[in-house]
Amino acid sequence: MFLNRKYRVLKKMNYFSDQRGIFERYINESSSWASHLQHTKQAILNAAAHHPKNSCAILGSGWLLDIPIEELVQQFKEVYLFDILHPSQIKHKLQKYPNVYLVEQDITGGAVQQIYESVQMFKSFKQKRELSDLQINGFQYPKQFDFIASVNILSQLDQMLLNYLRKYNLYTEAELTTFKTMLQTQHIQSLPQNKSCVITDYEEIVTDTQGHIEKQQSILAIDLSRYTTLAEWEWEFDKQQYYPGKNVIFRVKAVVL
């Protein structure tokens, strides 16, 4: 019953189509994405290098495109992969690893269910729930880990939720921005100090076919400059596939907390 309810909520929010869309975009952009994926994998391994190797947690494991799973299962006694829903193909692929544990958990810290319930309340009773009243406490860990990596998920925490909310015109853009900031802040604060790594895109650059910048904007609502930067690189996200005549580049960084 619980699983059916969760799947229904995720379907309403277009999570399944978004999840498939990520893999389809990867297929179309695989050569352009290769460098970013390799940089991400190496950043995870570099960040994990000086920590004990009993257990590690990967937040936002998804399709494992950017996760060095082979190395992690060899280095750590236990590898926990967290996502709100693991693709069936990934579940099948990882059956051969006895030390890998797949956990389906809302990385936002409960925002998905609460946003869904807020919309349902408005649709049924025309009552608007203030976003500031939501109980968002960041990611909740089922156990202690030696190393934790938040992988290309920080900038994505709010996207599905904000797209869902915008369909109903319940909140102003200012309110949505405040909610986005709260989600990202809680996520960072929930990561244990001195044993966590965050990898995230933080700036979007749109260029024309000649490479001239047409738009440049910050993606994050929070500042990561207080943390130690492990690496930085550019992700050639889209080459005129979805935006004809435009190239989209993300600037990415890996920081240690």
Which tokens sit at 194? 């001195």
Neighbours of 54 (CB within 10 A): 12
pLDDT of residue 15: 86
* Domains of the chain, CATH where assigned: 2-256 (3.40.50)
pLDDT of residue 1: 42
The mean pLDDT value for 155-161 works out to: 92
Q: Taking the model in full, what pTM does it have?
A: 0.92
Give the Cα separation of 63 and 66 in Å (integer): 8
pLDDT of residue 3: 53
* Segment 51-94, tens digit of pLDDT: 999 999 999 999 999 999 999 999 999 999 999 999 999 999 99
Q: Is the pLDDT of residue 242 over 80?
A: no
**Residue 71: Cβ-neighbour burial (10 angstroms; 0-12, 13-18, 19+):** middle
Residues in the chain: 257
* Segment 96-126, tens digit of pLDDT: 999 999 999 999 988 999 999 999 988 888 8
Give the Cα separation of 90 and 83 in Å (integer): 12
pLDDT of residue 99: 97
Maximum separation of any 2 CA atoms in the chain, in Å: 54
Split at pLDDT 50, 70, 90, the class of 8 is: confident
Neighbours of 179 (CB within 10 A): 23
The mean pLDDT value for 124-153 works out to: 90
Split at pLDDT 50, 70, 90, the class of 136 is: confident
pLDDT > 70 fraction of the chain, expressed in percent and rounded: 97
